[in-house]
Amino acid sequence: MNAGFLRYLAAKRTVDRRALHPGVASRATAAARRLSERRGPSRAVRVLEVGSGAGGAFPVWLELLAPCPRIEFVATDADSDLLDAGRDAVSRCAVECGLVVAASGTRRVRLEGRNPARRIEVVFRTASVPGEAAAGRFDLLVAQSFWDLLPPGAAIAYARRVLAPDGLFCSTLTFAGETRFEPPHGLDEPILASYHRSMRGDRGGDPRAGDRLVRDFRAAGSGFRVLAEGPSDWRVLPVDRGYPGDERFFLETILGFVAKETGADPALPGPVRREWLTDRRRQLDEARLAYRARQRDLLTERIG
């Protein structure tokens, strides 16, 4: 696994934390509590995470699931190396949250709380979406910064397949089609238009997934009820002639993503791309560069 990419994933955790919509998070915790009560003390709440990566979102899900004493958590990702890093991250997060790692294997971690009733079984599976998950088996489907990587309609189709009749769907930090750097630059429009086009490209992603998810799940006959939704924009600003934590590296990596994705665009002249990147990297070195990516959080409940 590339060390630079792992550092980027670690660096963006502070950005992610600031961005999460507090109203969606609180409604999700309340909904998880009601769901756990319906299941009763003898039945674990079954959670499926897609695009788990290196486990960066696990603390978010742990907070969301705080009212649930027993949890079966299946973390999936197409990259087995990332899942290995995710297993280690889960163990670290557990200790920080006052849980005990009662057992740990190559693809499984068991966490226990001070209260004997608190027990979380985490299983790691290499799988892409749509993967092999039992139809209707899961109570909660979660994903962070993920659904924009897949074609339109993939999220609701997968949710219908894997969720129980009263199951919950929670997506956080889903990209919603707008990237902005400050200060303004005369070449922003062609560069960022090319960058957004690349998100469709060969991988068939959806750069407007954040808004599309809300529309899809809210549509009449969708089989879901929207419980909460709201903006969760990434925002990085210079502070005291620098950047918080490792967020300078985060921004440097974002510029690298833009350079890579736009470099394959025949409609974008090379000198235009190089001028924009040179100016933006200089602004980053001078701690003058700010960044925002528009995103949305969403919580829904299956009703049919």
The model's pLDDT over 95-110, given as tens digits with 9 standing for 90+, comes to 888 888 888 888 899 9
Closest CA to 66 of 53, 49, 47: 47
Query: What DSSP element (H or E) covers 48?
Result: strand 45-49
What integer pLDDT is reported at residue 162 of this predicted model? 94
Q: How confident is the model at residue 131 (pLDDT cuts 50, 70, 90)?
A: low
Q: How confident is the model at residue 225 (pLDDT cuts 50, 70, 90)?
A: very high
Q: Are 147 and 209 in contact (CB under 8 A)?
A: yes
Judge if pTM exceeds 0.85.
Answer: yes
pLDDT beyond 70 at 296: yes
pLDDT digits over 255-265, tens only?
999 999 999 89
Segments making up each domain of the chain, as ranges: 3-176+206-233+295-302
- Which residue bears the tokens 């294997």? 105
Determine what percent of the chain is predicted with pLDDT higher than 90: 80
- Which listed CATH number (3.40.50.150, 3.40.1190.20, 3.40.50.300, 1.10.1060.10) goes with 3-176+206-233+295-302? 3.40.50.150
Angle at 72 between CA 67 and CA 76, to 5 degrees: 120
User: What is the distance in angstroms between the CA of the first residue and the CA of the last residue of the chain?
Assistant: 41
Lowest mean pLDDT among 7-11, 51-55, 198-202, 227-231: 198-202
